[in-house]
Structure 1
Amino acid sequence: MSDRFGDASGNFAVSLLDTLAETVGHDQFKSILEKQWQRKAKEYRDRVGNGSLRERVANLVELRKAEGFMAEYHAVDVNDSFESDRFILMEHNCAISNVAESFPSICGHELEMFAAVLPDCTVERTHWIIDGEHRCGYLVQIRH
């Protein structure tokens, strides 16, 4: 719907970030973005909890859905006798696409945030909307 009717909040966010970047300079702007994602990672970590990896990924998906992302996950290499330790997290839209197109480094912070929320895991980007893919995807797996 935002494509059809415009996205004033997204355009405002991009304009505000442009102004901020011009005002404070590159290094300070980078620091501000990092601080924002650290705060978001702490909030997510507190809300995701300490359950199994499946439970934590499911909780993360629910948080992302609440923020406007069409998110889902599925297990990779699941064996009936074992809990999977690998999941694909998919986001079929980008709730921050206007900002991400103008400031692609935000996507890197998002990847770092997921890794901080799941500190016993590696998180690797498998798909990226900014690169022309139809979704963003992340492989989440327990670090052995």
Structure 2
Amino acid sequence: MRNEYGSVPWLEVIAPLMPQVLAADWSHEVIGRDWMIQTYLDGVPAPEHLGTYPRTAWPAFFRQMGAIARSVHDVRGPCFGPVGGPGYGTWSEAVLASLEEIAADLDGVGLDAGDVRKVAALAAYDRAVLDEVTEPGLLTGGLWTVH
């Protein structure tokens, strides 16, 4: 949620499509957890309505989703990593740090992180390939029909 909140200024390119943040609090003093209040957007979630359209109309919907994703991915930033930080100087550093966090989270709940560690080792070994990406860009994983 904090990363979502921190990304709002970077998402100006699609601001008309997004709810407005009315309030946010990370102090845990009000309800004992992070919270954010946003405006309500009219509409029907795609999983509830997309199936009522003929399949021939679906490509236009998914082209629009692709255009929105492209506009987000065209946003450039000052560093690699989560919007809320920490920031990294290279893409490989950001990827490796993320994989380390995922492995630690798995360890923390008693799950096997071996596969994640294998991926991290491969990423570390071939980090030069990752570092072919030299310009930080905003990536979104939230543009799918259930959102």
Structure having the higher strand fraction is 1
Structure with the greater relative contact order (CA < 8 A, sep ≥ 6): 1 or 2?
2
Larger Rg over CA atoms? 2
By the TM > 0.5 criterion, same fold? no
